[in-house]
């Protein structure tokens, strides 16, 4: 019998590991720091409210949020934004992290599984969350940086939908992960490509549409 490769667990961030939208917390933190004007937070706040109520990421909201963050980042220092993200995560993570999901991460780690965040959120936020939780790393939306400053471009596109599944397959190839015996956790229908790319999908805080799919496929459903 062929030996199994390394097993990994992949976690969506928003509404899976944390309550609500990390992009909203990012924008709110930038507003507090004076980096974003107060008026810009209202659209994000409304989108965050709708996201929490529907438990579904709207493609139009994702496009809007991505464009606004890219516009904001253009010309700014990568080191400055990274430092601000440390403060932002320090502020929201203890209050918004689902305790049950923290326990899940620790369970995987205790038996030697690698643990990754896979998120449409900015990599600067996702990587800090991963580090604070002792995870292996993060795959997330990554803006282009040239000479230490953001260009406002997004060469790889948002880490969303099929892009998550492709990124996980590339990661598995580089790290000899056995995806058939690995795990994925998500609340979103948009993450179906990710969920079906592993042998052990788990649904977290699903909306009605995703719960129907989970029931049909006999996938475990967690309420965090």
Q: Per-domain residue ranges for the chain?
A: 8-222
User: Which are the catalytic amino acids?
Assistant: 12, 14
Q: What is the pLDDT of residues 18-56, one digit of tens each?
A: 998 888 888 788 777 666 655 555 555 555 455 455 555
So what CATH class is 8-222?
alpha beta
**Using H for helix, E for strand and C for coil, what is the string for 188-205?**
CHHHHHHHCCCCEEEEEC
pLDDT digits (tens, 9 = 90+) for 57-90: 555 556 666 777 777 788 889 998 899 899 999 9
- pLDDT at position 102, please? 98
**DSSP H or E segment with residue 101:** helix 99-110
Beta bridge partners of 138: 117
Residue 140 near residue 117 (C-beta atoms within 8 A): yes
Residue 2 has pLDDT above 50, yes or no: no
Task: Check if the beta carbon of residue 184 is closer than 8 Å to that of residue 16.
Answer: no
Query: Are the CB atoms for 9 and 108 separated by under 8 Å?
Result: yes
């Amino acid at each position: 019998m062929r030996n199994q490769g390394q097993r990994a667990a992949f976690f969506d961030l928003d509404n899976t590991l944390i309550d609500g939208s990390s992009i909203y917390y990012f924008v709110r933190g930038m507003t507090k720091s004076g980096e974003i004007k107060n008026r810009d937070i209202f659209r994000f706040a409304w989108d965050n409210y709708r996201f929490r109520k529907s438990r579904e990421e709207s493609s139009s909201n994702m496009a809007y949020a991505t464009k606004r963050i890219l516009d904001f980042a253009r010309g700014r220092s990568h080191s400055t934004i990274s430092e601000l993200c440390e403060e932002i995560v320090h502020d929201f993570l203890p209050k918004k992290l689902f305790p049950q999901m923290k326990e899940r991460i620790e369970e995987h780690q205790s038996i030697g599984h690698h643990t990754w965040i896979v998120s449409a959120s900015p990599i600067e936020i996702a990587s800090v969350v991963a580090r604070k939780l002792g995870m292996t790393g993060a795959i997330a939306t990554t803006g282009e940086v040239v000479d230490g400053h953001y260009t406002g471009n997004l060469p790889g596109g948002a880490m969303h939908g099929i892009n998550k599944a492709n990124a996980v397959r590339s990661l598995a190839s580089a790290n000899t992960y056995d995806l058939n015996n690995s795990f994925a956790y998500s609340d979103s229908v948009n993450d179906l490509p990710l969920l079906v790319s592993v042998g052990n999908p788990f649904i977290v805080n699903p909306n009605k549409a995703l719960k129907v799919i989970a029931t049909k496929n006999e996938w475990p459903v967690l309420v965090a």
